[in-house]
Amino acid sequence: MPELAEVEYFRRQWNAGIGKKVVGVSWHKTARVNRGLNTVKISRLLKGATFYSSHAAAKQMAFRFSNGIWIGLHLGMTGRLECGDEQRAPTPYDHFVIKMSGGKNLFFVDPRQFGRVLFYQGDGVPDWWAKIAPPILSKAFNAEVVAAFLERRSRAPIKAVLLMQERFPGIGNWMADEVLWRAGFHPSAKAGNFGPVAIKKLTATLKKVCTDAMRVIGKDWSDPPRTWLFNHRWSDGGKCPHSKQHLKRTEIGGRTTCWSPAKQKLGAERR
């Protein structure tokens, strides 16, 4: 479930290779995650390079190597990163593997292949990294920019708008539901109906959910407390941990959405 905090967790799974050199690279040649890449050329460039650092922003990861090499990874829907030695059993979905000196191998595994591998070499910063929107947990993300964005997307349901990475980097389906549930807004509320009080509340709740998710899931993949919607949203019949009333699940903005009708009523956004 790679959203903001899951991506942060997976990023660190490759850190055992930092400071080591690339011994070899293996690719699953026909895998969709490697589309558009010259895998032969990248293997040649990577071989012998030193792994410098790992980074995560939104749902994108970057791994920097010597000689100005960047490897970008997006986990899509089902991607994950693993680190293992010779003992690790291969899976059919090890689409991209970097073998490091010292015997640690770095695996990008993705059954459903909505993920993607990116490559860059140069003195600058690759476009796919530079263009990521300011983090929700930064000062640049504030009620003013949220208000401007909601106005532009005025006719779309707020649930769909929160999934737009150009303004809400790292927010995915469960985080969007968690935010709307905590803030008390109906997922179908039109973005253009949000008043200044509601926008402040939405902005603060976005920051809170990101902070909480990073502490719990981003740190060591701990289970979120039962007090979060997170634990109750995955199947029909769940109960709201606050109101104890039934949760509803329907498709809104093209995604499965779970909310508490008792806690999230249309109209609350008009303040």
Q: Report if residue 135 touches DNA, rule: CB under 7 A.
A: no
CA diameter of the chain:
60
Burial class of 225 by CB neighbour count within 10 A (0 to 12, 13 to 18, 19+)? exposed
Q: Are 246 and 232 in contact (CB under 8 A)?
A: no
Q: Report if residue 27 touches DNA, rule: CB under 7 A.
A: no
Q: Are 101 and 21 in contact (CB under 8 A)?
A: yes
Instruction: List the one residue from 6, 8, 212, 269 that touches DNA (CB under 7 A).
Output: 6
Annotate each residue in 69-88 with x if it binds DNA (CB under 7 A) or - if it does not, as one string: -----x-xx-----------
| Distance of closest approach, residue 259 Cβ to DNA, in angstroms | 13
| Closest-CA residue to 213 (of 260, 172, 162) | 172
φ and ψ at residue 83, rounded to 5 degrees: -125, 135
φ and ψ at residue 56, rounded to 5 degrees: -135, 140
Q: Report if residue 34 touches DNA, rule: CB under 7 A.
A: no
Please name the residues in contact with 89: beta carbons below 8 A apart, sequence gap of 6 or more: none
Q: Report if residue 2 touches DNA, rule: CB under 7 A.
A: yes
**Comparison of 76 and 84: residue with beta carbon closer to DNA:** 76
Please name the residues in contact with 70: beta carbons below 8 A apart, sequence gap of 6 or more: 62, 63, 64, 118, 119, 120, 121, 126, 129
Bridge partners, residue 190, by sequence: 157
Stretch that binds DNA, among 43-51, 133-141, 149-157, 240-248 (CB under 7 A): 149-157
Q: Report if residue 254 touches DNA, rule: CB under 7 A.
A: yes
Q: Report if residue 163 touches DNA, rule: CB under 7 A.
A: yes
Q: Report if residue 32 touches DNA, rule: CB under 7 A.
A: yes
Q: Report if residue 42 touches DNA, rule: CB under 7 A.
A: no
Q: Report if residue 3 touches DNA, rule: CB under 7 A.
A: yes
Distance of CA 184 to the CA centre of its chain: 23
Cα R_g (the chain), whole angstroms: 20
Instruction: List the one residue from 155, 220, 226, 237 that touches DNA (CB under 7 A).
Output: 155
Instruction: List the one residue from 38, 66, 67, 256 that touches DNA (CB under 7 A).
Output: 256
Instruction: List the one residue from 112, 215, 239, 265 that touches DNA (CB under 7 A).
Output: 112
Q: Report if residue 29 touches DNA, rule: CB under 7 A.
A: no
**Comparison of 115 and 241: residue with beta carbon closer to DNA:** 115
| Distance of closest approach, residue 156 Cβ to DNA, in angstroms | 4
Q: Report if residue 157 touches DNA, rule: CB under 7 A.
A: yes
Instruction: List the one residue from 51, 70, 108, 174 that touches DNA (CB under 7 A).
Output: 174
Instruction: List the one residue from 114, 126, 137, 242 that touches DNA (CB under 7 A).
Output: 114
DSSP class of 246: B
Please name the residues in contact with 90: beta carbons below 8 A apart, sequence gap of 6 or more: none
What are the CA-CA distances from residue 116 to residues 36, 62, 109, 128, 164 (Å)?
A: 10, 12, 11, 12, 19
| Distance of closest approach, residue 153 Cβ to DNA, in angstroms | 3
Match 């909480």 to its residue by tokens. Answer: 212
Match 């981003």 to its residue by tokens. Answer: 218
Residues that bind DNA (CB under 7 A): 1-3, 6, 32, 58-59, 74, 76-77, 92, 111-114, 152-157, 160, 163, 165, 172-174, 191, 249, 251, 253-256
